[in-house]
Structure formats: structure tokens, C-alpha cells
Amino acid sequence: MNANLLLIALLALGAAPSTRDAPFIETFQRDGKTLIYVLAVHHSAMLFPDAMAEPVFKTIQSVFLKTPPDAVILEGVDPSQISGFLDYARQCADANYNLAGRACAENAFTAYSAAANGAQVYTGEPPASASLALFRAQGYSVQDFFAFWIMNNIPHEKRHGTLSEGEFTRLVDRVVGYENQLLGTSTSFIAEDFAAWYAKNIRTPHNYLDIAQEDTSPYPSSGEPKTLLHTLSALSTKARDENIVATIKMAIENHSRVLVVYGASHFDSEWDELVRFMGMPKKTKPF
């Protein structure tokens, strides 16, 4: 069987692996290049006050100890913010990833570990301006864009503590301020604006403070109605995953060993293209 036919057969047989037992590692190898993909479960300070005891941190640490990469690709960092994020990651490390009032997650641990090992740091995220342009091309407004990122951050906030109305107001101000900074704009969108937007556009959950991780998925759970949040998540996730794969291709061409650390759910839609590019991976689960 020639190489092309073999690859077709592999693609036909090789459905993306279940991500239920994340975190784990998928390792791709091709032509002397290695791609190490950590399918992460996002850090929860509520479940693991000592971040270094969390399986995802231990999994990432095992990569740096056994097969240190010469480049890493981070989740959740705008391309314009890499330098500042490296400074933030250093602060997280100095506080043993328990920085008061801030979320020191697995991307900060990966960034600090990379810097300490002399590895190049990339982000897999598209710039905020490109993300907003995508929303606008589909008929959505900047307010829809802000509301999406506010909703997307609610489960993240709840992984690190309770979320009261007062804390939610500060979350809105933080998200909108950050997006305005990235976009170079000064569009006002306060908590009251969001509450009115939510009442008009989202039916479930009734209270936005009840938004859970599954509500921000691109796909509703079985039997659940599809919401605008699912639609916006699908739009954002598709663009993000395409950008992640493009970044992986760039990094693997320029480096021998590349580590990617992303939420496990992204792997499903990236699987086919990664297998085409790198061949079938080998799964390992250190923790």
C-alpha cells in the first residue's frame, strides 16, 4: 500500500479519541519532528488549592522533565499580549500559582516553564480584531462580542471561587476593559447593559450566574435547546481551532519539538488536520 492510501486508511479508521479521561498526552512524530499535545482540563483552584497537585499541572511538568520542548503554544493569550503574559506567569510562579485575586492557570505554568527552559512561546489564539471581524461578518455587533466573552468567562470564574453579583460586575468591567484595550476602542458595556442583553437574547439558564461549562460548548447537550451562546461558541471555536492548527504547522516547521496545551474539547475538531499533517499519534496518561 502506498503512503497516500495508507494515510487514507488511517484517517478512515482513526476517529478522534474520547477526551473523557483528560488530561492526557497525544504525541505525534514525523520526519524527526515531535508534536506533544496536552489535552487539558482547566485548572480549578476550588478543587486544587495547591495547583502543583492538579493532574494537568503534573502532566505538563512531566513533559518538561522527560521531553522538554523547544517551543510551546498557549491557550487564551492574545498575540499582542505574549510579553505581558510571560511577566504575569512569572508572578504566578513566585506565588506558587496561588496569586490573590488572579487566576494562575495551566497556560501560566506552561509559559513560565517554557521561559525557564529557553523555549519559544507562541499563542494559538487569533487576534481580538480578527475575532470581532468574524462576528461582524456574521451580522453580530460588538456588544454581542463582549457578551459572548463575558458568558464564556463565567464558568472560568466559578472554577476559582463563588461568583456574586458584585464579583460579576467586576468581571464585566475586566472583560470589556481588556477587549477594548486589545481592539483599541472605548465601547461602553457595563453590567446593566449585559443583563438587558442577556434577558433579550438568552432563555436558558434563566440566571446568567448559573452558566456552566456545558452551556459555553459549541454543541448543546442531548435534549437541550440550542441557544445563542452555543451558536456564538461554535463561531468562535471554529476560528480558534483553525488558528491553532495553523500555528502548530508554523511552529513544527521551525522547531524540533513543540508542546501544545489546550482544553481537551479543541482536539476533536483539530484531529483530522493534525493526523493529515503529522500522522497518527500515541496516547499516554501520566496522571
List, for residues 81-119, the tens digit of each pLDDT value: 999 999 999 999 999 999 887 889 999 999 999 999 999
- The DSSP symbol for 49 reads S
pLDDT at 5: 47
pLDDT at 7: 47
pLDDT at 14: 59
- pTM attached to this predicted model: 0.91
pLDDT at 219: 86
CA dihedral sign of residues 45, 50, 52, 56: negative
pLDDT at 100: 83
pLDDT at 101: 77
**Is residue 185 a contact partner of residue 176, using CB atoms and an 8 Å limit?**
no
Alpha-carbon distance values, 66 to 69, 173, 287 (Å):
10, 42, 14
Q: Rounded to whole angstroms, how far apart are CA atoms 232 and 167?
A: 24
pLDDT tens by residue, 31-42: 999 999 999 999
- Strands across the sheet containing 120-123: 120-123, 71-74, 257-263, 33-40, 24-30, 282-284
pLDDT at 220: 83
Which parts of the chain have pLDDT scores under 50?
1-13
**Cell numbers 519559544: residue:** 120
